[in-house]
Structure formats: structure tokens, C-alpha cells
Structure 1
Amino acid sequence: MNIKLQDEIKYITKGVIVFDVILMIILLITSTFSKNMLLGIIFGSIIGLLNFRLLAITIEKAVDMPVNKAQIYTASRYVLRMTIVGIVLIVSAKAPYLSIVGVAVGLLSPKFVILAKKLLIDKLKRKEA
């Protein structure tokens, strides 16, 4: 895997950990913290990060393929990733020890981190210029 891509995955992983810790602190302050929510967020974040890594691998492989093969490959990998997300949400809905809201937030945590990074870095770069 490309070094720059690996660094970006590590950066997002660290960001998700920080996001989860901040989220737990907010839940503690608002007295809405529970073991189910904690487990849900951790489970969702792990699957979200694995999903993000699968996306990175898919993109890296698809770049070297011919257009037709790349389209089929990326579409099949998309279906695989969404199937994984669906299974995770079904498991979390049926499991009494997981909060489905926590799992959903955890699944979306890489997206939140990427958006926050984009917004904050762009804002800081504009102030410097």
C-alpha cells in the first residue's frame, strides 16, 4: 500500500479514537453514558475503520485496472461494504448489549473525522493566508 495512503489511514484512525473519547466525555457530562452505548460506539468505530480501509484498498487497486474492470470491481466492493454495514446494524439491533445508536455513530465516525479535518484545516489555512 502507498505510504501516503497508509499515513492517511493512521491519521483517520487516531482521529476516530480522539472523536470517540470526546464523545464519551460528552456522554458522561450529559449523564447519558451507558455500557451499551460504549460498546456500540467501540464496535461501530472498529467496523467503520475497517470499512474505510477496505475503501482505500479498493481505490488503490481500481486505479491500475482498465475502466470496465474498475467499474465492476468498485461496484462489487461497494456492495460488499454496504452488506457488512447492514449486517453490523442488524446484529446491533438484535444484541441487547449494544446500542444501535452507538453503533451507527461509530460507523459514521471516520466520516465525521474526515469532515472535521477538512473544515478545520481549511479554516486554519485561510487564516494564515
Structure 2
Amino acid sequence: MNIKLLNEIKYVTKGVVVFDVIILVLLLITSMFTKSMLLGLVFGSLIALLNFRLIALSLEKSIAMPVSKAQIYTTAQYILRMTITGIVLIVSAKAQHLHILGVAIGLLSPKFVILAKTLIIDKLKRKEA
């Protein structure tokens, strides 16, 4: 795998862990912390990181393909990732030991990490330069 892509995956993974810890602290402060919320957050975050890794793998693989095959491949990969996400949400809605809000927050955690990086960290780097 490309070094830059691998570094980005590591950065987002570390960011998701930090994000989850921040969310857990906020849940403790607001007295909304439960075991099901913790399990939901961890489960959602793991699935989100799996999906993020699948995006990276499909991106790297599709670059080497002709355009028509790459379109079909990336569309199939997208449908696979959305199916996984849908199954996770259905399972969390039916499972008593998973809080669906925790799963949803976990599923969105890479998006929050990337958004925070783009808005906050990159903005600070521009001010320093």
C-alpha cells in the first residue's frame, strides 16, 4: 500500500481513538454513560475504520484499472460498504446490548476526525507559515 495512504489511515485511526475517548468523557460528565453506549461506540468505530480501510484498498486497486472497470469496481465496493453499514445499524437497533446512538456516533467518527483535521489543524498550520 502507498506510504502516504497508509499514514493517512494511521492518522485517522489514532484520531478516532482520541475522538471516542472525548465522547466517553462527555458521556461520563452528562451521566449518559452506559455499558450499551460504550459497546455501541466501540462497535460503530470499528466498523467505520473497517469501511475507511476498504475505501483505501478500493482506491488503490481502482487506480490501476481501465476507467470502465474502475467505475464498476468502485460502485460495487460502495454498495458493499453501504450494505455493511446498513446491517450494522439494523443489528444495533435489534440488539439490547448495543445503543444505536453510540453505534451511529462511532460510524461517523472518521468523518469528524477528517473534518477536524481539515478545519482546525490545517488552518493552524497555514497561520504558522
TM-score, with length taken from structure 2: 0.97
Q: For this pair of structures, how many residues does the alignment match?
A: 129
Q: CA deviation at 1:120?
A: 1.2
Answering whether residue 96 of structure 2 is matched by residue 96 of structure 1, we say yes
Instruction: Give 5+ residue unaligned stretches, structure 2.
Output: none
Query: 1:125 corresponds to which letter in structure 2?
Result: K
Which 4+ residue blocks in structure 1 deviate beyond 6 angstroms?
A: none
Q: CA deviation at 1:25?
A: 0.3
Q: CA deviation at 1:4?
A: 1.3
The 5 A counterparts of 1:1-129 are 1-129=1-129
* CA root-mean-square deviation: 0.8
What is the rounded CA distance, in whole Å, between the counterparts of 1:41 and 1:61 in structure 2? 30
SS of aligned partner of 2:31: coil
Q: CA deviation at 1:35?
A: 0.6
Instruction: Give 5+ residue unaligned stretches, structure 1.
Output: none
Identity of aligned residues (%): 73
SS of aligned partner of 1:65: coil
Q: CA deviation at 1:128?
A: 1.5
What is the rounded CA distance, in whole Å, between the counterparts of 1:69 and 1:88 in structure 2? 29
Query: 1:72 corresponds to which letter in structure 2?
Result: I
What is the rounded CA distance, in whole Å, between the counterparts of 1:25 and 1:68 in structure 2? 47
TM-score, with length taken from structure 1: 0.97
- Report Cα offsets for 1:21-64 as digits up to 9, x if no partner: 00000000011111110000000000000000000000111111
